[in-house]
Amino acid sequence: MTRRDATAKKTLAKIEALAKAVVRDIQKKQNPRIEIPLRTLSNITYNARKKIIEMGKETQERSFFNVSQARKFMQTFLVASACKELIETGKTTSIRDLYYMTKHTLGNSKVNTFEEQDESDPIIEDLEVTLDALREELHLFANRKGLMVGPMTIVDSGDTIDLRRQGSGGWGVPSIVEPNVIKFGKHEARYVLLVEKEAVWSRFNEDKFWKKEKCMLIHGGGQPPRGVRRLVHRMHYELGLPVYVLVDNDPWGFYIYSVVKQGSINLAYESMRMAVPRARFIGISSRDAERYGIPEETSIRLDEGDHRRIRQMLEYPWFQDKKWRRELETMAKSNRKYEIEALSRRGISFITEEYLPRKLAEKDWLE
């Protein structure tokens, strides 16, 4: 039995056990119910030793004979049944397609099982934590989001791909990047550079920064999706590559970095597979405007939402380091933020030819 077959068998057993527990409740003439681990801030802790966010043990009950819970109870088993069918047939599908697979009108009523995909997506996450089975193990994937190039050869579902020869487009990072799907081959990479935006990634790719620097160049289109975060995690731990994160100088950019580093609150149950606690924040920092001569007219004034977000971040235990507190407080005091593209005012290739090489040479980063 292959590793993939063993995982499928184990996941099927978990789904069947969930269903059998409900059947037992019915046979006992009890209210059918399941326990769903809470994916909320109140059930999240920061493990200072591991330096990652972890989910606690609090749960919430979801029962059938409860007016406020019956719909979600039904939806949970609809999704579980669809995933069981996918696993048994050895097929995978997108979370978008799963929404359409499970959406239908109930009998002669006007009630649909799901109205929009934003109803089915949280159910998938609930099922993940309840079964302790990842989305990939449920044979589900999300749309591709993120591109990568660099001095490495990979094997993607049996096909050998040279990431050195991807032209201007890059290799689209899939949602499922587990070792049984994506294998690392020969490489000369010295580190991973994760940039926030595709437009900035394109500048680095066009200037062949990855070739000069021998780095894996990747982006996640803003907040990196699970596939990108998992792939970065694998390159760090399996290949020993340092990870540098380049984001906007604003609260959202800082939050993106924190998600890469510690994990996210919503996906705390996956932190061990995604977080890179030693990831380095390479910029843009609040003091870069002065150090690198970024014109003040390229700055953007903080709004109340930005200030509120900074106050929230200052309360997070993973931002208590004095250097990070100074970074956040400096931004709040200056009342200004800068997008990465502001560096282009110094020259279209200033970021690839001067800014980042200098940052790396001077080890000017935050951890």
Whole-angstrom distance, CA of residue 39 vs CA of residue 42: 8
Amino acid type, 146: G
Q: In angstroms, what CA-CA distances link 231 with 84, 163, 226, 238, 242? A: 26, 14, 8, 10, 13
User: Is 100 noted as a catalytic residue in this protein?
Assistant: yes
For 185-207, give one letter per residue: b (16+ CB within 10 A) or e: eebebebbbbbbbbebbbbbbee
Rounded Cα distance between 231 and 134, Å, is 15
At position 42, the amino acid (one-letter code) is: S
**b (16+ CB within 10 A) / e for 75-98:** bbbbbbebbbebbeeeebbebeeb
Are 40 and 56 within 8 A, CB to CB?
no
The catalytic residue among 46, 100, 316, 355 is 100
Q: What angle do CA 307, 308, 310 make, to 5 degrees?
A: 65
Q: Is there a cis peptide before residue 284, judged by omega within 30 degrees of 0?
A: yes
Residues carrying an active site annotation: 100
